[in-house]
Amino acid sequence: MEKMTLHVDAGSGYDIIIGSGLIDSAGKYISSALPKAKRLFVVTDSNVSPLYGARLVASLEIESFEVHTHVVPAGETSKSAENLISLWEWMTAHGVTRTDAVVALGGGVVGDLAGFAASTVLRGVGLVQIPTTLLSQVDSSVGGKTAIDLSAGKNLAGTFYQPDLVLMDPDVLSTLPLPVFMAGMAEVVKYGCIWDPDFFDFLSARPDRAALTEDIGHILYTCCDIKRQVVNADERDTGLRQILNFGHTLGHAYELAGNYTEWSHGEAVAAGMVMAAKLGVELGVTVPEAPEKIEAVLAALGLPTRIPCGFEYIERAVGVDKKGSGDLVTLILLEDIGVVKRLKLKKSRVLEVLSAMSRR
């Protein structure tokens, strides 16, 4: 696949580079983006390390970087305060300086955890994101959100910290199990829902992995371009950027109900988008046919469109939603496919409507 580059203006500005084989040429791009860095602290997980760890390290050492690697267990539970502290201690034990950098090699969990560590150790060092899942390529690696989970909910402690470079190699997606690949497609579909109805229709016509893989360059570029535009307009998530959370409030409730193990983030967001569309219909905001369209696309991809969930988890998710302010919460709803609306309502009113919906 021909190399493509997008530039994000947020922070100090950085490039998103998309292209086949970037794992094996990462060193030269990092050297160019961070010319003062001498040490690189690679953070990866137990699934990704055996697949791509050695190849990445080899490409870094060719450029004369001193490389240290830290492997965390795969899975959401690694986004913890304990692992964050371990990363701080590991980097300082190996002599990290302000000109060095963290390289996050993995999916969203690794990107969030490593990004948080990079943003805080020595009050901030360089950061390179090398996402290895579809979900992290189209979403979490771009935009500068870093976080760990707390007992009260997901992503409740974190920073806004833009990377210095994002390297996106679509070849690594070939090793993803089908359910993990399709979980990433939930975030891809989200971009069509909130921004681009033509892209939504494009995805509707490609309901299987083979067809999607043929056009993966276009998919990655389109999603990253949309997110780039949103982040450039609202880096700190106080306005427009909130639309990227379509389906996420209820998705977090589903993740919480499944103890972050039964449902992946993408699966939870898929069901959350369907419920958010139905909620919009209930509130008179969303056209009645929108939920059916979203449900059809997601179901064709093998994603859940409804997840059983005790109402207490919905109450918790709405109660701690980061888009909330006092007793108000900003709902991310659709008027139609590609037309998003932010609606501020009292949490009690939102829960009243959701409660009535859950009893049907």
Decide if 271 contacts 305 (C-beta within 8 A): yes
Q: How many CB atoms lie within 10 A of CB 357?
A: 14
> Nearest CA to 35 among 6, 63, 62?
63
Looking at residue 212, its pLDDT comes to 98
For residue 340, what pLDDT is reported? 97
Q: What SS3 class is residue 282?
A: helix
Contact 81, 147 (CB under 8 A): no
* H or E element at residue 147: strand 145-150
How far apart CA 127 and CA 55 sit, in angstroms, is: 19
Q: Give the closest residue to 227 by CA, choosing from 159, 329, 137.
A: 137
Structure confidence at residue 260 (pLDDT): 87
E strands within 172-295? none
- Using the 8-state DSSP alphabet, how is residue 309 labeled? -
Distances from the Cα of 153 to the Cαs of 1, 6, 137, 170, in angstroms?
39, 33, 23, 31
pLDDT at position 322: 62
**Given this model, what pLDDT does residue 1 score?**
77
The full DSSP string for 45-75 is ETTTIIIIIHHHHHHHHHTT-EEEEEEE-SS
Kindly give the confidence (pLDDT) of every residue in the chain, 360 residues in length, as a single tens digit, with 9 standing for 90 and above: 789 999 999 999 999 999 999 999 999 999 999 999 999 999 999 999 999 999 999 999 999 999 999 999 999 999 999 999 999 999 999 999 999 999 999 999 999 999 999 999 999 999 999 999 999 999 999 999 999 999 888 899 999 999 999 999 999 999 999 999 999 999 999 999 999 999 999 999 999 999 999 999 999 999 999 999 999 999 999 999 999 999 999 999 999 999 889 999 999 999 999 999 999 999 999 999 999 999 999 999 999 999 999 999 999 988 877 666 678 999 999 999 999 999 999 999 999 999 999 887
Whole-model pTM over 0.85: yes
The pLDDT value recorded for residue 325 is 66
| All domains in the chain, ordered by first residue | 4-174 (3.40.50.1970), 178-358 (1.20.1090.10)
- Amino acid of residue 15: D
**Residue from 299, 324, 303, 314 nearest 353 by CA:** 314
